[in-house]
Structure 1
Amino acid sequence: MPSTLKLIKSDLKRKQEIFRSDGADISFLRTCFTDGTSANILFRIASKCASYKLLAPAALLFQHINRVYNGCVIGVKAEFGPGFVIMHPIGVVINSKVKGGANITLESGVVMGDEKGKSPTLGNHIFIGTGAKIFGPITLGDNVKVGANAVVVKDVKSNKTALGIPAKSK
């Protein structure tokens, strides 16, 4: 597992790539001050603290700061690979048992929750649109897009787009 600093750097570089692909050629420094960046950094720090028993209270403190300052709650034991990007943190709620691969991008209001003790597992290169909800012991394959306000309660195979309530893969 890469160090926390390497993960943060990869998250920020990925966010900068997203802006560039949208036509905004912004500097790495400016990327550090865009919406959602502090939520990413606080999550990574809380996650690292949670991995050390003696620092567990600090993990909860960073999680609390993230909730108050950014309006999002991300479980300290949630796992995401490098390139994890929260574009807009308001309303993001992620259960501690969620596992995600590399290059996952979230918009505002995304909820990933538990059902009967089991949470979603996400592959690599995932985009989750504004207001999307993903619940239970489901798997999103690689290169999946989840549309705005979709409610995903079944597995989504790689290279598919999930749309609707309940979401259907296309």
Structure 2
Amino acid sequence: MTTDLMPHPSADPAVRPRSDVDLGRFNRNPPDISFGALIREDYATHGRDFWSQGFWAIAIHRFGNWRMGVKSGLLRAPLTLIYRVLNKHVQWLCGIELTYTVKIGRRVRIWHQGGMTLEALEIGDDVHIRQNTTFGLRQHGDPRWLKPIIGKGCQIGAGAVIVGPIMIGEGCTIGANVVLAQDVPVNSIVTVPKPVIKPIR
């Protein structure tokens, strides 16, 4: 498989992309599966554990997108209130920040909870994410479209920080406590340097 990556589609801070203009206005759940089937698939992805906090974060994210398919603003209003309350509870109780505006593929699993800010531009199918992970902007004040895209099939280790308008290629493994602000080619492994062990003098 090639290791070349397409450039990030929204990497220019001076040009607001159309995707940002439309952000949050449409249902961005995967279009090839019904809402009910999607929730059942997410439930299976999380080991059929009803109390999995990762499952609840994903399920509420799916609900937040599904409600945007309700065309009437009047009918959608109570659904929006429900979504906001549930989403805030996920942040408080699970320590997972994941807004519905993040585009998420199928079979994404959040393995653990706590200290997680998953504000990527897009997370592909079959991505696995561990605790204390941060996706988001490189620095305060950057336009909100300057966020990473996580490719399909990636494994994200505990404590990883992935920021800025970068592309993480399909099939990558990002090790624990790695800090990334640059593109990663497909099928790559990124780790921190090995610890240095010295005798006590």
TM-score interval, normalised by the smaller of the two chains: 0.7 to 0.9
Counterpart of 2:165 in 1: which secondary structure?
A: coil
Amino acid at match of 1:5: G
**Greater shift in the superposed pair: 66-75 or 78-87:** 66-75
Q: Secondary structure at the match of 2:46?
A: helix
Aligned mates of 2:104, 2:124 — CA distance in 1: 6
Answer yes or no: is 1:68 the counterpart of 2:92: yes
Map 1:99-118; keep pairs closer than 5 Å.
99-115=122-138, 116-117=142-143, 118=146
Q: Report SS of the residue matched to 1:159.
A: coil
Aligned partners of 1:160, 1:13: CA distance in 2, in Å? 28
Q: Give the 5 Å matches for 1:76-115.
A: 76-95=100-119, 98-115=121-138
Alignment counterpart, residue 39 of structure 1, candidates 40, 44, 57: 57
Contact 2:159/2:177 (<8 A) preserved? yes
User: How many Å apart are 1:13 and its aligned residue?
Assistant: 2.5
Using the TM superposition, give the Cα deviation of residue 80 of structure 1 relative to its aligned residue in structure 2, in angstroms: 0.9
Q: What TM-score, normalized to structure 2? A: 0.67
2:46–2:52: 8 Å Cα contact kept in structure 1? no
> Is the 2:60–2:83 Cα contact (8 Å) retained in structure 1?
no
Partner of 1:22: none
Higher strand content, 1 or 2? 1
Gaps of 5+ in 1: 17-27, 166-170
2-structure distance, mates of 1:146, 1:45: 29
Residues 58/49 of structure 1: CA separation in 2 closer, same or farther (3 Å cut) = farther
| Structure 1 residue 147 corresponds to structure 2 residue 175 | yes
Tell me if the contact between 1:49 and 1:58 (Cα under 8 Å) persists in the aligned partners.
no
Q: Which has the higher contact order (CA 8 A, sep 6+)?
A: 2
Partner of 1:119: 147
Structure 1, residues 127-158: CA drift from partner, whole Å, max 9, x if none? Answer: 11111010010011110111111111101111
Instruction: Letter of the 2:38 partner, please give it.
Output: L
SS in 2 for 1:134: strand
Q: How far did residue 50 of structure 1 move? A: 5.0
Question: Does 1:12 pair with 2:81?
Answer: no
Structure 2: which 5+ residue stretches go unaligned?
Answer: 1-30, 194-201
The C-alpha deviation readout for 1:43-92, integer Å capped at 9, x for no partner, is 22233335655343333222101112211111221111110111112111
- Conserved 8 A contact 1:112-1:119: yes
Q: What residue identity is the alignment partner of 2:94? A: N
Quote the RMSD (CA, aligned, Å). Answer: 2.1
| Residue 151 to residue 35, structure 1, CA distance change in 2 (3 Å) | same
Greater share of residues in helix: 1
More deviation, 64-73/137-146: 64-73
Q: Give me the identity figure in percent.
A: 22
